[in-house]
Structure 1
Amino acid sequence: MSTALTLTTSGDPDGSRVLTVVGEIDMSNAATFGAALDEAVRPDGEPLVVDLTKVEYLDSAGLAVLFPHAERIALVASPLLEPLLTISGLAELTTVRSG
């Protein structure tokens, strides 16, 4: 059974593309999350902002989906996820902002 996950792509007033993620990211829906990242990343190289502020849980499968995109994304994370992104090493590869 897949865990509830909502993915919405939109644009910021400054022109940045934003993928907003709501729910939990785990092995049951990591492929869906990965497909949304693949689709939302711009080919022109402009970073995609991935808003994780409403993500309540992120396991290793979700982290594994983020790593290949590290050079093309910027993350906005809640205080809950910031330590996980730091410990995993992802914060050294991409921008992580508090949200």
Structure 2
Amino acid sequence: MTTLLTLTPSRRPDGVAQLTVVGEIDMSNTDALATAIETTEGPLVLDLTAVEYLDSAGLSVLFRHTDRIEIIATSLLAPVLEISGLADLTTVHGLDTP
């Protein structure tokens, strides 16, 4: 069974592509995430503020695109983004814990 994941592409006011991700990212839906990232040209901002879960399969997709993505996340995802080393390879906003 595929875990519910909503992917909404848009453009930021500065013209940079943005992909807003809502739900849980796991091995059941990483193909959709990978396709959405790969079909967007140029730099891409991934808004993960509404992502409640991110597993290693999801991290693998993000690692493949660290050269062109910027991530917006919340402190909920901070441990996985920092411990995995992803936060060291790309710009991640919003990881400050309260």
Q: TM-score band, normalised by the shorter chain?
A: over 0.9
- TM-score norm. by structure 2 comes to 0.92
| Aligned: 1:56 with 2:55 | no
Detail structure 1 runs of 4+ shifted over 3 Å in the superposition: none
Structure (1 or 2) with the greater helix fraction: 1
- TM-score norm. by structure 1 comes to 0.92
RMSD of aligned alpha carbons: 1.1
The number of residue pairs the alignment matches comes to: 95
| Aligned: 1:81 with 2:69 | no
Q: CA deviation digits over 1:29-72, x for unaligned, max 9?
A: 01111111101242xxxx21000000000000000000010010
Q: Report sequence identity in percent.
A: 60
Provide the C-alpha distance between the structure 2 equivalents of 1:48 and 1:32, rounded to a whole number of angstroms: 16
2:80 counterpart SS class: helix
| 1:16 positional shift | 1.5
**Structure 2 gaps, min length 5:** none
**Structure 1 gaps, min length 5:** none
